[in-house]
Amino acid sequence: MKEFDTDEFFTFIEENNVYGFFKNPVTLKSGRTSHFYANWRTVASDVYLADRLADFLCAFVKSRGIGVDTFFGVPEGATKLGVLAQYKWAVNAPEFCKGSHVLAMGRAKPKAHGRPEDRFFVGEPRGRTVVVEDVTTTGGSLYNTLVSLKDAGVHVGAVVSLTNRMVRRDDGTCVEDLIGGLNLPFYSMSTAPELLPRIYNRVQPGAEIGKAVELEFEQYGLAPVRLGV
């Protein structure tokens, strides 16, 4: 398995248009408006790109020394990545054999009947579980997933976000505070303040949009974003 290379991962993000800008602001799921997006949908829909992304995730977890028996993607945004990363992690394990690893997947909405493990999962996570989210904003859906996993008796060992937008919640806290309240370590493979200047220089959306993004981070951000406008 390759070592995790941050610059290679950032280049992968750039080349596959994970980040971009809006001339007119859009309303996010959190209810806030934004002039930029971070979206892994195109990567997740392409087998070759999803395969590379799973390699990055596995390398990142290994490089951080995170113990993992099961990858679990937050439904539905990271579901496919969780399954693919789990498969690649398992087949490369020295103890890989029948029964050695579970292929876990969560349901976006619980079934109304059946055993608890079948109501919430298509394959229940087992052992040290790493929960994966594609884009983290205020962390609401991630938190709900973690609470549901805890209630189901799943041992979550860590949380990994592909992209952390690095914004404050309405109460002034951030997603790291929220997840830390569950006594879980939280890792970001990339953050908006790291990536946005690179993307801005590449696509050149204009000074008006650049200034709007800078103001957005002045209002909500955990760190400033300087786009040279």
At 97, which CATH number? 3.40.50.2020
Q: Is residue 95 part of a domain?
A: yes
Q: Is residue 108 part of a domain?
A: yes
Q: Is residue 145 part of a domain?
A: yes
Q: Is residue 214 part of a domain?
A: yes
181 phi and psi angles, rounded to 5 deg: -65, -20
Q: Is residue 227 part of a domain?
A: no
Q: Write out pLDDT tens, residues 65-123.
A: 999 999 999 987 899 999 999 999 999 999 999 999 999 988 766 655 655 555 667 77
Q: Write out pLDDT tens, residues 1-34.
A: 689 999 999 999 999 999 999 989 998 877 888 9
Q: Convert 104-122 to b/e letters by CB count within 10 Å (16 or more is b).
A: bbbeeeeeeeeeeeeebbe
Q: What is the mean pLDDT of residues 218-229?
A: 87
Residues 6+ apart with CB under 8 A from 25: 33, 34, 35, 212
Q: Write out pLDDT tens, residues 167-205.
A: 998 888 999 999 989 999 999 999 999 999 999 999 999
Q: Is residue 229 part of a domain?
A: no
Residue 135 has pLDDT above 90, yes or no: yes
Total domains in the fold of the chain: 1
Nearest CA among 48, 91, 76, 185 for reference residue 134:
76
Domain that includes residue 92, residue range: 6-220
Q: Is residue 228 part of a domain?
A: no
Q: Is residue 204 part of a domain?
A: yes
